[in-house]
């Protein structure tokens, strides 16, 4: 039985993992911790959706594992980026739930088809005579 998917959320800022890649810039790679490690499909959807997202102060952001990294000025984070990140994360959670439901439906259809084939084979087996 599949375990139920728990929505992924931003839970904290990792100041130790955050870093400045360009000393002459005010921009910092800010690392945000997620509530759980994002499955590959979830990360891929988030990253693709973030590229398509548009708002005035948009910065580069991506998810890998249990972290979301955004390249921005720290004081922009709360007012400009967190609301947009939360929006895309909510959309990603919904899309991932739909993906899981579709995957479960396909598995159920395959299992039913295999069971039907086994019944047919059992019926044929019962009718076979070898002497």
Number of domains, the chain: 1
Q: Domain limits at 107?
A: 10-126
| pLDDT at residue 124, rounded to an integer | 81
Q: How far apart are CA 105 and CA 63, in angstroms?
A: 27
Q: Let me know if residue 4 belongs to a domain.
A: no
Residue 116 has pLDDT above 60, yes or no: yes
Q: How far apart are CA 1 and CA 127, in angstroms?
A: 35
Q: Let me know if residue 3 belongs to a domain.
A: no
Q: Predicted confidence band at 131 (pLDDT cuts at 50, 70, 90)?
A: confident
Residue 51 has pLDDT above 90, yes or no: yes
pTM for the model: 0.79
Q: Let me know if residue 5 belongs to a domain.
A: no
Runs of H (alpha helix) within 1-131: 40-52, 82-127
Q: Let me know if residue 107 belongs to a domain.
A: yes
């Amino acid at each position: 039985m599949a375990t139920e998917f728990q929505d992924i959320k931003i839970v904290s800022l990792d100041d130790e993992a955050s870093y400045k890649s360009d000393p002459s810039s005010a921009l910092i790679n800010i690392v945000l911790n997620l509530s759980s490690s994002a499955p590959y499909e979830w990360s891929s959807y988030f990253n693709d959706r973030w590229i398509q997202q548009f708002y005035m102060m948009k910065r580069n952001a991506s998810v890998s594992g249990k972290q979301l990294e955004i390249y921005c000025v720290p004081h922009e984070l709360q007012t400009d980026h967190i609301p947009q990140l939360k929006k895309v994360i909510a959309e990603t959670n919904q899309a991932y739930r739909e993906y899981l439901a579709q995957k479960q439906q396909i598995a159920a259809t395959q299992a039913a088809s295999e069971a039907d084939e086994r019944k047919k084979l059992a019926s044929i087996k019962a009718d076979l005579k070898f002497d």
